[in-house]
Structure 1
Amino acid sequence: MQLRRLVRSEDAVSPVIGVILMVAITVILAAVIASFVLGLGGDTEAVPTATFDFEKIELSGQPDELRVTHETGTGIVNTDLYFGSPDGVQDEDGSPGPVNRLSWYEAAEDNGASEGDSVAGGDSVLIEPPNASPELEDKTIDVIWQSDGNSATLDTFRGEDA
């Protein structure tokens, strides 16, 4: 009779197996999600470190110019380095006309820069605000690095009244 009772009394086995299976599935699912998330984070390009010097040049009867010099830090490809301003920027000759983003390459190509050159310590370019608003006092201009979908503001020029 006890043998029949043992065979019929299987109530405790089913919940224990269910709990073990749920824990195993949760652990495996967590491992898959963690490897996916950590695998995506490993492919991002490191943001370069660089400092820039801003020299405001006031010209009589002409728009102010801003000399931006790469002081120290990582060399950066000139097509990955941009100047951005909501007021617009252009190179020293007024081209390509006021745009919200101007690459270092676009600003330096009139001075012999080649696309893909590295911008390193001591390199500089001249940029200016749009002719319609020629003073830099109330302007903010960011130096932005952008590469392969990643971007960061490396430095910012702020005029006295900005």
Structure 2
Amino acid sequence: MQLKQLFTEDRAVSPVIGVILMVAITVILAAVIGTFVLGLGDQVSETAPQASFSFDYDGNGALTITHESGEAINAGQVTITGDINNSTDTWADFAAGTPTDISAGSSVVVNSSTGGGFAEGEGVRVVWESESGSSSSTLQKWTYNA
């Protein structure tokens, strides 16, 4: 083969590279469209917030729950459950007034289910639920240990 003929050769690998790129683009588009069609795209944004709560028990049945640090959370999405007098109320139901967000320093007081104090092993959970209701997560848990 002569050097001059080598530089004038018309055949190359560009058709192979073109096919590979087209297949890759098709696969990526199928994956993106598939996640949104199946509703998986909505669940990605519904991750539980990162927040820390502290619990202060007075020994007589009143437990103060305080948001110490982390993200501000919609008060209507946080439920306080466990061995308390109202077991399925949101944070907003316990708080004075109607706060829209739970931010650092926000606190509520809940009472034990018996009113006389928590028994050994009884507890309270702060639970977050997504806006769509499709997922929930326990943000913090407190258990009474005498």
- TM-score, with structure 2 as normaliser: 0.67
Alpha-carbon displacement from aligned partner over 1:34-80 (angstroms, at most 9, x marks no partner): 55652222212221110000001123xxxx11100000011111111
Aligned letter for 2:67?
A: H
Uncovered stretches (5+) of structure 2, i.e. residues with no partner:
1-25
Residues 1:153 and 2:108 aligned together? no
Residues 1:50 and 2:48 aligned together? no
Structure number having the greater strand percentage: 1
8 Å contact kept, 2:52–2:67: yes
- Where does residue 74 of structure 1 map in the other structure? 71
Alpha-carbon separation, structure 1, partners of 2:117 and 2:34: 48
> % of aligned pairs identical?
25
Aligned letter for 1:145?
A: W
1:132 is displaced (CA, Å) by 6.0
Alpha-carbon separation, structure 2, partners of 1:42 and 1:105: 29
Q: Which of these residues, 85, 93, 106, is aligned with residue 106 of structure 1?
A: 93
- Where does residue 130 of structure 1 map in the other structure? 113
Aligned letter for 1:105?
A: A
- Where does residue 9 of structure 1 map in the other structure? none
Uncovered stretches (5+) of structure 1, i.e. residues with no partner:
1-27, 91-98
Aligned letter for 2:52?
A: T
Alpha-carbon separation, structure 2, partners of 1:83 and 1:154: 10
Task: Flag the 1:46–1:159 CA change in 2: closer, same or farther, 3 A.
Answer: same
1:152 is displaced (CA, Å) by 0.6
8 Å contact kept, 2:53–2:67: yes
Alpha-carbon separation, structure 1, partners of 2:122 and 2:34: 40
Aligned letter for 2:75?
A: N
Alpha-carbon separation, structure 2, partners of 1:143 and 1:102: 11
Q: Which of these residues, 116, 119, 130, is aligned with residue 102 of structure 2?
A: 119
- The count of aligned residue pairs is 114
8 Å contact kept, 2:118–2:144: no
Q: Which of these residues, 123, 131, 143, is aligned with residue 126 of structure 2?
A: 143
